Amino acid sequence: MGCKQCNKKVSDSDRIVCRGYCGASFHMICAKVDAPLLDAMGLYPNNFFWMCDDCGKLFSNSQFRRLDKDNDAGPKLVESLKTVQSDIAKLASTVTALSGKVEAQSATMSTWPTPSSSKRQRDSSTDPPAKASIPAASRGKKAMPSVPIIAAPEPDDLWYIWLSSFPPTVTEEDICTMVKECLSVENDDPVVVKMLVKKGADIAKLSSVTFKVGVSRDYRDSSLDADNWPEGLAFREFIDMDKRPTTAVRFGVMTCSSTARAERKSECGEVPAGDCGPPWENIPRSV
């Protein structure tokens, strides 16, 4: 190894090593160290250190010494990080174990009840003329497996279907899960369910219950396919009779309002209150 000062080869007998930061070798004559001084340093190897000029300047710089002290904290920081990583690994294993228990409970859920048949079928021919006719309900054919219950939000623009012939023990959450399974609804698509029961009615005493279900319009065709619904279930498009416009026709004798009578006094003369007579009787005729 060469001398850091003159870059020439250094023999062992003429070598002195910097005990500072660089650890470089020097000629004794280049480092201005004589033999008596070297012997004196050898008497106290753990307390008497020689450093080159560059390392001596760094050692005298208080800012550099503070940085060097901060670097000593690195191993402690590494140990702290290892501890944190170990704690995270333990938490991850705990979460995995809990997830397995949840999946096991979902797999042991009971199967869905088979819908009972409806006692009464709606006959559209008996509806009054002012109301729109309601199509007959179809019956599903698909066997219903067991699926987990998932709730869904309620958006605005949905396609609504009418589902009936369910036992009164079936809830809106059960229907929501059944619809998602039957129509293969994506996780991001909404399913809105509402039980159609008269206000104040005792659900437990009903023979069957009906639901209004809203899904994305992408599922319109599949919702009207009997192969997608359980056997015995009644279904059809839901028609909101309160929001559907209807046309009413009036029958009876045409009468005149008070304003009309006042405007026609000049043509008809005095007309008894409430009886102006047919309007065509008061049209002037040529003589």
- pLDDT confidence of 114, banded at 50, 70, 90? low
pLDDT of residue 165: 85
Q: What percent of the chain has pLDDT over 70?
A: 64
Residues sharing a CB contact under 8 Å with residue 17, sequence separation 6 or more, in sequence order: 23, 24, 25, 26
Lowest mean pLDDT among 13-22, 66-75, 204-213: 66-75
Q: What CA–CA distance (Å, rounded) separates 190 from 154? A: 7
CB-neighbour burial class of residue 147 (10 A; exposed 0-12, middle 13-18, buried 19+):
middle
The pTM assigned to this predicted structure is 0.34
What is the rounded average pLDDT for all residues in the chain?
74
pLDDT of residue 75: 74
What is the average per-residue pLDDT within 198-215?
A: 90
Contact 113, 171 (CB under 8 A): no
Q: What CA–CA distance (Å, rounded) separates 63 from 211? A: 78
- pLDDT confidence of 195, banded at 50, 70, 90? very high
Q: What CA–CA distance (Å, rounded) separates 227 from 182? A: 9
- Summarised one tens digit per residue, pLDDT across range 223-270 is 999 999 998 889 999 987 766 554 433 333 333 344 444 444 444 444
Query: Scanning the structure block, which residue is given the tokens 């179809």?
Result: 138
Contact 115, 166 (CB under 8 A): yes
Q: What CA–CA distance (Å, rounded) separates 52 from 46? A: 17
pLDDT of residue 284: 43
pLDDT at residue 9 greater than cutoff 80: yes
Structural tokens at position 140: 């599903």
pLDDT at residue 68 greater than cutoff 90: no
- pLDDT confidence of 176, banded at 50, 70, 90? very high
- pLDDT confidence of 119, banded at 50, 70, 90? low
pLDDT at residue 25 greater than cutoff 80: yes
